[in-house]
Amino acid sequence: MTTISVGMLGCGTVGTGVLTLLNRATNQIAESIKVHFNVKKIAVSHPDKKRNLHWDEDVQFTGEIENVTTDPSIQIVIEVMGTVDQAYHAVCQAINHGKSVITANKELIALKGPQLTKLARQNHVDLYYEASVGGGIPILRVLSDSLITDQITGLTGIVNGTSNYVLSAMKDERSSYADSLKRAQKLGYAEANPINDLSGFDSAYKLAILSQLAFGHTINLKQLERTGIDKITLDELSGAAHWGLTIKPAIVARKKEHTLYTLVAPVAVTKQHPLANVSGVENSVLVTSTALGTTSYTGAGAGSEPTANSIMSDLLTITHHILTEQCGSSYNAPSTHISEYSLLKLPLEYFIALGEPAKKEPKFSNEASQYIEDTFKTGKAVFCITSVLDKNEKTNLEKSLSFMFQNVHFYPILKEN
Ligand SMILES: NC(=O)C1=CN([C@@H]2O[C@H](COP(=O)(O)OP(=O)(O)OC[C@H]3O[C@@H](n4cnc5c(N)ncnc54)[C@H](OP(=O)(O)O)[C@@H]3O)[C@@H](O)[C@H]2O)C=CC1
Ligand SMILES: N[C@@H](CC=O)C(=O)O
């Protein structure tokens, strides 16, 4: 039996899940690959806190990250504490001390992934981060292994479990935004700072990671078109349903020749769209590639055990590399240069939600009415869909409607990948 010593940074929702799954799989791992994982040390903020762990062996809790990242006996460090600067420093320290690293931290990988990958290669250690996108869905392995020779032309998905859970609870149970969010937090889906989930930052980080693996392109996060779910109302969700549409928190990337069109925003999908029935904490990524066509990868996008399962698969990959002396690898992330624009530059149809009219009897200007095919009135709000609008037409329509209505929201209607 070979013993591999592991250190962890963090033991919250995901960290406790890792211990549970390791405990559950101890015998299976021992029998199949003759390895025993010895979790030696775990760094946490509050080392004396009482924890309800499913872990049968001794483990030392510490308040000092260096106790883990510099311990010469530890071979693999699992970073599940979050933050960017502290996590970056800790991961660099672990790598510089010859340890392979697994992280679930999308913000860290989106912002510092290429530097960390380079550092890991220089130090002949592995860096894996399957849990950073899609929780339990093995999407990064698919992009970097299974589709490595195919040309990916489109990604459409839901990659934030919290936003999808909140919108699903609002739509299906008429639960308020605040109550739905509280439930998502209680279930361990939300980030320590849930603004990251609700304002689309978390999805943007995940789109950045997907884009590196799918297109070899590093997304400019500062210029990325990003809208959150925090302004969506219960009325808007039912207004969309009247039109046979569901509002979903989406990421989109479409490659057309040497240009990538990207978007992180709530979109409206028809009942037939594959994302329409992806509900609650579920995530889904639709990948369109030249040889394979469109394939979809769906499953639990957040939560303790689903996320820990992705970490387990990285742990087993790294263990294989340690046993065969092949460390120094990461997910394949080719590098190419393509231009990037907002998807909203392309002609699109929109579902429009118009809040309370500014005048009692709203009158559409000629310019506005020419785009509006039909309208539906529930209470004070108006909901309608447009024909295909190019960027200028959409901007003009938005301007003229905002004179007549409060809270004008445009949701792109997604039809194909
Ligand atoms: N929750 C989820 O479903 C998913 C989370 N992730 C990512 O996984 C990571 C962890 O998330 P999650 O488990 O939910 O977070 P939690 O807030 O539940 O846990 C964070 C853990 O890290 C510890 N910690 C925080 N800051 C420090 C620090 N400075 N030094 C040492 N320990 C620290 C905390 O210690 P203490 O316990 O003492 O407070 C806690 O154990 C994040 O990067 C998140 O984005 C990725 C996919 C899904
Ligand atoms: N907060 C994230 C957790 C997983 O990445 C989410 O809700 O998706």
Please state the φ and ψ torsions of residue 61, each to the nearest 5 degrees.
-90, 140
How many whole angstroms separate alpha carbon 100 and alpha carbon 88? 14
Average pLDDT over residues 46-74: 94
Q: Which ligand is nearest to the CA of 194?
A: 2
Domain of 123, CATH number, reads 3.40.50.720
Q: Is the CB of 189 under 6 A from ligand 2?
A: yes
Nearest Cα to Cα of residue 196 among 187, 186, 188, 205: 205
Q: What tens digit of pLDDT does each residue of 225-250 get?
A: 999 999 999 999 999 999 999 999 99
Query: Percent of the chain having pLDDT more than 70?
Result: 94
Residues 256 and 116 in one domain: no
Ligand 1 centroid to residue 405 C-alpha, Å: 42
Write down the pLDDT at residue 352. 93
Q: What is the pLDDT of residue 333?
A: 80
Residue of the CA atom closest to atom 3 of ligand 2: 302
* 126/156 same-domain check: no
The contacts of residue 178 (CB under 8 Å, 6+ apart) are none
Q: Residue 401 CB: number of other CB atoms within 10 A?
A: 23
Are 100 and 177 in a shared domain?
Answer: no
- In Å, the largest CA–CA distance within the chain is 79
Cα(276) to ligand 1 centroid in Å equals 30
Owning domain of residue 202: 149-299+339-344
- CA–centroid distance, 189 to ligand 2, in Å, is 5
Please tell me whether residues 99 and 121 are part of one structural domain.
Answer: yes
Structure tokens at 71: 């311990």
DSSP state string for 44-55: -S-TTS------
Contacts of 355 (CB under 8 A, 6+ apart): 380, 381, 405, 406, 407, 408, 409
**Distance between Cα 135 and ligand 2 center (Å):** 7
15 lines ligand 1 (CB under 6 A): yes
pLDDT of residue 405: 79
CB of 282 closer than 6 angstroms to any ligand 2 atom: no
Q: Does residue 71 share a domain with residue 37? A: yes
Selection from 8, 17, 19 nearest residue 304 by Cα: 17
> Percent of the chain scored above 90 by pLDDT?
85
Task: Please report whether residue 235 resides in a domain.
Answer: yes
Q: Compute, in angstroms, the gap from residue 362 CA to the centroid of ligand 2.
A: 41
> Which of 41, 112, 206, 248 is an active site residue?
206
In a domain, 333, yes or no: no
Residue 331, in any domain of the structure? no
Rg (CA), the chain: 23
Mean pLDDT of 179-206: 96
pLDDT tens track for 111-148: 999 999 999 999 999 999 999 999 999 999 999 999 99
pLDDT (0 to 100) of residue 357: 65
> What's the pLDDT at 56?
78
Q: How many domains are there within the chain?
A: 3
What distance in Å separates the CA atoms of residue 78 and residue 63, rounded to the nearest whole number?
Answer: 16
**Domain C-terminal end among 323, 355, 373:** 323
Residue 398 domain-assigned (yes or no): yes
Is 382 within a domain? Answer: yes
**Residues 274-280, mean pLDDT to the nearest whole number:** 97
Q: What is the pLDDT of residue 76?
A: 98
Pocket test residue of 19, 21, 50, 81 for ligand 1, highest count of atoms within 8 A of CB = 81
Relative orientation angle of helices 304-323 and 13-33, to the nearest 10 degrees: 40
Q: Is 213 in the pocket of ligand 2 (CB under 6 A)?
A: no
Catalytic residue list contains 359: no
Question: Considering the chain, what is the average pLDDT of its residues?
Answer: 92
Give the CATH number for residue 395. 3.30.70
29 occurs within a structural domain:
yes
Ligand nearest to the CA of 82: 1
Q: What is the pLDDT of residues 305-323, one digit of tens each?
A: 999 999 999 999 999 999 9
- pLDDT at position 358 is 64
Residue range 35-60: mean pLDDT, rounded: 93
Contacts of 32 (CB under 8 A, 6+ apart): none
Same domain, 23 and 96: yes
Number of the ligand 2 atom closest to the C-alpha atom of 189: 7
The reply, when asked if residue 9 is annotated as ligand binding, is yes
pLDDT band at 382, cuts 50/70/90? confident
Alpha carbon of 80 to ligand 1 centroid (Å): 5
Mean pLDDT of 199-223: 96
Provide mean pLDDT across the span 150-157.
97
Is residue 130 lining ligand 2, measured as CB closer than 6 Å? no
pLDDT bin (cut points 50, 70, 90) of residue 369 is: low
90 lies in the same domain as 209: no
- 291 and 161 part of one domain: yes
Is any atom of ligand 1 closer than 6 Å to the C-beta of 191? yes
Question: What is the pTM assigned to this prediction?
Answer: 0.95
Q: What is the pLDDT of residue 370?
A: 44
Same domain, 189 and 310: no
Question: 334 in a domain, yes or no?
Answer: no
Listed in order, strand segments (DSSP E) in 113-195 are 127-128, 152-158
Would you say residue 168 lies in a domain?
yes
Which CATH number goes with the domain that contains 259? 3.30.360.10
pLDDT at 376: 38
Q: Is 53 in the pocket of ligand 1 (CB under 6 A)?
A: no
How high is the pLDDT of residue 276? Answer: 96
Q: Which ligand is nearest to the CA of 47?
A: 1
131, 182: one domain: no
Residues 173 and 112 in one domain: no
- Predicted complex ipTM: 0.99
- Verify that 78 and 199 share a domain, yes or no: no
162 lines ligand 2 (CB under 6 A): yes
Contact 208, 221 (CB under 8 A): yes
Residue 57: count of CB within 10 angstroms of its CB: 13
Q: Match 């929201």 to its residue by tokens.
A: 409
